[in-house]
Amino acid sequence: MSNNTRRHFITKTGALMGALLAAGMISGSAFAADFPTAKVNTTKLAVTDTTVKVGILHSSTGTMAISETGSIQAEKLAIAQINAMGGVLGRKIEVIQEDGASDWPTFAEKSKKLLVNDKVATVFGCWTSASRKAVLPVFEKENGLLFYPTFYEGLEQSKNVFYTGQEATQQILAGLDWIAKEKKAKTFYLIGSDYIWPRTSMKIARKHIEQKLGGKVVGEEYIALGDTQFGSVINKIKLKKPDVIYAAVVGGSNVAWFKQLNAAGLNSKKQNMLTISVTEDEVLGIGGENLEGFYSAMKYFQSLKNPNNEKFVAEFKKMWGPKSVIGDVTQAAYLGPWLWKAAVERAGSFDVDKAAAALPGYELKAAPEGYVKVDPNHHLESKLRVGKWLANGQAEVVYESELIKPDPFPKGYQ
Amino acid sequence: MFDYSMAEIGNIVVMQAFSGLSLFSVLLLMALGLAVIFGQMGVINMAHGEFMAIGAYTTVFLSKVAETYGIVNYYFLFAIVIAFIIAFIIGYLVEFALIRHLYKRPLDTLLATWGLSLVMQQIFRSTFGAKEVSAVLPEWLMGSFQPTPDIDIPINGVFVLGLALVVTVGVYLFMFRSRWGLRVRATVQNRVMAGAVGINTKKVDRVTFALGCGIAGVAGAAFTTIASTGPTTGSLYIVDSFMVVVFGGAASIMGTIASAFGIAQAQSILQFFMTSSMGKVATLMVIVGILMMRPEGLFASKVRK
């Protein structure tokens, strides 16, 4: 063997070994061998040696598409990132996306399709409470797993659902405490859209204002969904002169509400307002100039300053365009796939019962919103922030609470 | 109510009166185009709201263009004209492609135009995105006019009111003082006879339909000052539009005006003294009651059937 050939041989072997090593490190199959499919999947889910199927169930058409598009994008981003890291238990995530079309029976039907026909290991989805209530019996009967991203009214807990947004007391109490102290507010005017979430939230808010803060509710008003005429309501507010307007108006009404408030001379210089229904997504439609100086109580704002969030915002924009904005629910939706990955890896199994049982107690430190912890009641322990809206459509975070434990069935507030 | 001073109550009465007028102008603008199409032609145009959305999207688009050229303060009136023209042209094409085949089956126009509205919503969604957008408004349309420090009259409300009056007068002149209006009215009264005396009834239909759509476009443009624009914006307006037209009496422009005024005042006053949703319920109850007694609406048409 001449020197020349020998060198050639060594190079060749080295390359081969390198390739083998790389294959072992990057491709999931070697890793997945530690978790044989028969062992990690005893309930006939769509899990193979190399892939696992999951569902995304949101409205990409209909009225709710406005809100749910952000959640779809966030979930896809998280899944792409997880796949780039090697997937879950060495298996690449394959997404089956279904459209709930803003129609609650459609949500129920599609969830059944995902669980029964496709046998997905988990579903990330739903946005409105109505859609969640529609799919809940299906998930409980077929024993599926759902990660639900929206802040909502509470009064629910299921072994098949993890709630990655805040429940009502987490979002309401700390915010009211803050504004009562900061603005020395005594009188409150409650206004919301006419459906379950605002009504339950206002019930909690009223109890808190009257019993804990010693304040007074001078008006409580609900607007039909989609109504765009606020003239009479605004005049009533002007007559009552509340220290704070506490608002949970949603959808198309939201934009009309802020535009007309401003046009009637009630801007942030004359009136304090704390809202629990405006995120960066809504601001796009409302226009920053109509909101400037008003406050929102949320657990996440795009402008949060921490390394996790800066990375998240940058990668979100890289994937979905530099103009995209990220609201509270979008961030909560982003947590879903990561929490599911943690659940499966802690359980060492894709089985729904095992994964769901393994998740409580898990601490997700890399969340864009900062630290969150999964509570035994399937909600997240998280902080509340109050953001002051700026003309450019972003919020300046002016208050951050301590970590708040979730309490979906609050005593004394029902 | 009596914890307040006379001055405060006076101020609220003024603002409340204006809020009623403002709602009146919104309802009137919404319903005028429909009154022309439904009232004069008997076509149940379920896509009326989507023609408003065309006007609204036109305005939003032009506002973005105006923003890049720094002429935001001047574009708005121009945008209203363009919104009319675009909605008119699309209405003209829709009549040609769809509506004219259905004149003998008026109830089918309901289904066909409803289908059309779904198609248009999806086109908006694919073209402009699912998120709601807002037009950048000129300075002079924002804020409020204050005759005294405690009275705020919203300027966008005044603008919509003015526009509603201009459009109403325009429609009136067109229908009752022009040759075109004469032909439209003749066709409505007796299509065969109108044809016999040399009126091109097909052309009349096409222009009438397009005109109604054009007016819807103007309404849509005006509403960008009070609300946002999304793919399903139109569906917010369609129920109120039909309510005004049916309550007023289908074939009468005067009826539409009277009905818009009555509904607006009732709703505005009731909403002040009751809660907002109860006010709306009470208004609807009154309308149902009156329609039971007068099924033809407030102003019954005297059309020969």
In a domain, A353, yes or no: yes
Q: Write down the residue that tokens 């934009």 correspond to.
A: A255
Q: Is the pLDDT of residue B305 over 50?
A: no
Neighbouring C-alpha atoms within 13 Å toward the C-beta of A205:
34
Please give the order of strands across the beta sheet that includes A216-223.
A216-223, A187-193, A244-248, A272-275, A295-298, A385-389, A395-400
Are A195 and A232 within one domain?
A: yes
Give the domain extent around A358. Answer: 51-166+305-382
Distance CA A161, CA A150 (A): 12
In a domain, A104, yes or no: yes
Are A64 and A151 within one domain?
A: yes
CA-nearest residue to B14 within chain A is A235
Q: Does A65 touch chain B (CB under 8 A)?
A: yes
- Pick among B232, B241, B270 to test the A interface (most A CBs inside 10 A): B232
C-alpha to C-alpha distances, A186 to A151, A217, A218, B2, nearest whole angstrom: 26, 9, 10, 21
Distance CA A47, CA A303 (A): 38
- The pLDDT of B237-245, averaged and rounded, is 89
Q: Write down the residue that tokens 């429609």 correspond to.
A: B171
Q: What is the mean pLDDT of chain A?
A: 89
Chain B residues in contact with A266 by the CB 8 A cut-off are: 152
In a domain, A28, yes or no: yes
Are A81 and A226 within one domain?
A: no
Are A61 and A186 within one domain?
A: no
Distance CA A282, CA B279 (A): 27
Q: State how far residue A108 is from chain B, nearest Cα, in angstroms.
A: 23
DSSP-assigned letters across all residues of B161-192: HHHHHHHHHHHHHHHHHSHHHHHHHHHHH-HH
CA A204 to chain centre: 21
In a domain, A272, yes or no: yes
Q: Please indicate whether, in this complex, the C-beta atoms of B276 and A260 are within 8 angstroms of each other.
A: no
Q: Write down the residue that tokens 């803003």 correspond to.
A: A102
Q: Please indicate whether, in this complex, the C-beta atoms of A235 and B272 are within 8 angstroms of each other.
A: yes
In a domain, A7, yes or no: yes
CA B231 to chain centre: 17
Q: Write down the residue that tokens 């709710």 correspond to.
A: A64
Burial class (CB in 10 A: 0-12, 13-18, 19+), B72: middle
Q: Does A377 touch chain B (CB under 8 A)?
A: no
pLDDT tens, residue by residue, A134-165: 999 999 999 999 999 999 999 999 999 999 99
Are A112 and A188 within one domain?
A: no
Q: Please indicate whether, in this complex, the C-beta atoms of A284 and B131 are within 8 angstroms of each other.
A: yes
Q: Which tokens is A285 given?
A: 């439609």
- The pLDDT of A327-339, averaged and rounded, is 97
Chain B residues in contact with A281 by the CB 8 A cut-off are: 131
pLDDT tens, residue by residue, A18-28: 444 444 444 44
pLDDT tens, residue by residue, B192-236: 899 999 999 899 999 999 999 999 999 999 988 888 888 888 888
CB of B31 closer than 8 Å to CB of B249: no
Are A193 and A83 within one domain?
A: no
Instruction: Please give the ipTM for the structure prediction.
Output: 0.79
Chain B residues in contact with A265 by the CB 8 A cut-off are: 143-144, 146, 152, 154
- pLDDT tier at B146 (50, 70, 90 boundaries)? confident
Q: State how far residue A235 is from chain B, nearest Cα, in angstroms.
A: 7
Q: Please indicate whether, in this complex, the C-beta atoms of A231 and B279 are within 8 angstroms of each other.
A: no
Are A119 and A173 within one domain?
A: no
CB of A374 closer than 8 Å to CB of A336: no
Query: For A165-300, where are the alpha helices, taking DSSP H only?
Result: 168-182, 196-207, 231-240, 251-263, 280-286, 288-291
Q: Which residues 229-258 in chain A show a CB within 8 A of chain B?
A: 229, 231-236, 238-239, 252, 255-256
Are A189 and A328 within one domain?
A: no
- Pick among B236, B240, B284 to test the A interface (most A CBs inside 10 A): B236
In a domain, A406, yes or no: no
Q: Please indicate whether, in this complex, the C-beta atoms of B277 and A194 are within 8 angstroms of each other.
A: yes
CA-nearest residue to B136 within chain A is A287
Q: Report the b/e string of B127-155 with b at 16+ CB within 10 A.
A: ebebbbbbbbbbeebbbbeeeeeebbbbb
- The pLDDT of A191-213, averaged and rounded, is 92
CATH number of the domain at A291, please: 3.40.50.2300
- The pLDDT of B123-132, averaged and rounded, is 84
More confident residue, A276 or B188: A276
Pick A255's closest partner by Cβ from B23, B227, B271: B227
pLDDT tens, residue by residue, B74-126: 899 999 999 999 999 999 999 999 998 988 887 888 999 999 999 999 899 88
Helix axes B155-177, A251-263, angle to 10 degrees: 100
Residue A1 has a pLDDT of: 42
pTM of the model: 0.82
Q: Tally A–B CB contacts below 8 A.
A: 129
pLDDT tens, residue by residue, A352-377: 999 999 999 999 999 999 999 999 99
Q: Please indicate whether, in this complex, the C-beta atoms of A231 and B20 are within 8 angstroms of each other.
A: yes
Please give the order of strands across the beta sheet that includes A363-364.
A363-364, A372-374, A380-381
Are A323 and A284 within one domain?
A: no
Single out the residue of B268, B266, B213 nearest to residue B241, CA to CA: B213
DSSP-assigned letters across all residues of B2-65: TTS-HHHHHHHHHHHHHHHHHHHHHHHHHHHHHIIIIIII----TTHHHHHHHHHHHHHHHHHH
More confident residue, B141 or B301: B141
Q: Which tokens is B66 given?
A: 């105006």
Strand A92-99 to strand A123-125: parallel, antiparallel, or no bridges (unpaired)? unpaired
In a domain, A40, yes or no: no
Strand A385-389 to strand A295-298: parallel, antiparallel, or no bridges (unpaired)? antiparallel
Single out the residue of A361, A368, A394 nearest to residue A383, CA to CA: A368
CB of B136 closer than 8 Å to CB of B72: yes
Are A294 and A319 within one domain?
A: no
Are A190 and A233 within one domain?
A: yes
Number of folded domains in chain A?
Answer: 3
Q: Which amino acid is at B84?
A: F
B13 Rama class: left (phi>0) / alpha (psi -120 to 50) / beta: alpha
Q: Please indicate whether, in this complex, the C-beta atoms of A263 and B26 are within 8 angstroms of each other.
A: no
Are A219 and A179 within one domain?
A: yes
Distance CA B288, CA A106 (A): 33
C-alpha to C-alpha distances, A231 to A259, A264, B10, B161, B218, nearest whole angstrom: 11, 8, 16, 14, 22
CB of B155 closer than 8 Å to CB of B146: no
Q: Please indicate whether, in this complex, the C-beta atoms of B228 and A256 are within 8 angstroms of each other.
A: yes
